[in-house]
Amino acid sequence: MQAKLTLSLEKDVIEHAKEFSRRQHKSLSKLVENYLRQISSPASDEEVITPLVSDLSGVIMPKAADKIKSEYANYLAEKYR
């Protein structure tokens, strides 16, 4: 059953939301409905991990990632010196 809801929001927020809804090809009402449904539904506290993220997890060990990040920072520092 459909029902109307009146919201009071800042004008710029409304304009940005309308533009976003146009880009998504969905009505603003549907976006708000989906958002409210999502935040009000009983969900588990666990985050849902997509299969792709699951497959990629553990590919690079944290210490190796820190070393790569450090080496890249040194490379950029040297490059732009």
Per-residue pLDDT of the chain (81 residues; tens, 9 = 90+): 999 999 999 999 999 999 999 999 999 999 999 999 888 877 656 677 788 887 877 777 778 888 888 999 999 999 998
Domain membership flag for residue 58: yes
**3-state helix, strand and coil shares in percent for the chain, rounded to the nearest 5:** 65, 0, 35
What is residue 52's predicted lDDT score, i.e. its pLDDT?
84
What is residue 11's predicted lDDT score, i.e. its pLDDT?
96
Domain membership flag for residue 16: yes
Domain membership flag for residue 17: yes
What is residue 46's predicted lDDT score, i.e. its pLDDT?
66
Residue 28 CB contacts under 8 Å (≥ 6 apart), including other chains? 17, 18, 21
The range of the structural domain enclosing residue 50 comes to 11-79
CB 20 within 8 A of CB 12: no
Domain membership flag for residue 5: no
What is residue 44's predicted lDDT score, i.e. its pLDDT?
58
> What is the model's pTM?
0.50
Name the domain count of the chain: 1
Domain membership flag for residue 59: yes
Domain membership flag for residue 1: no
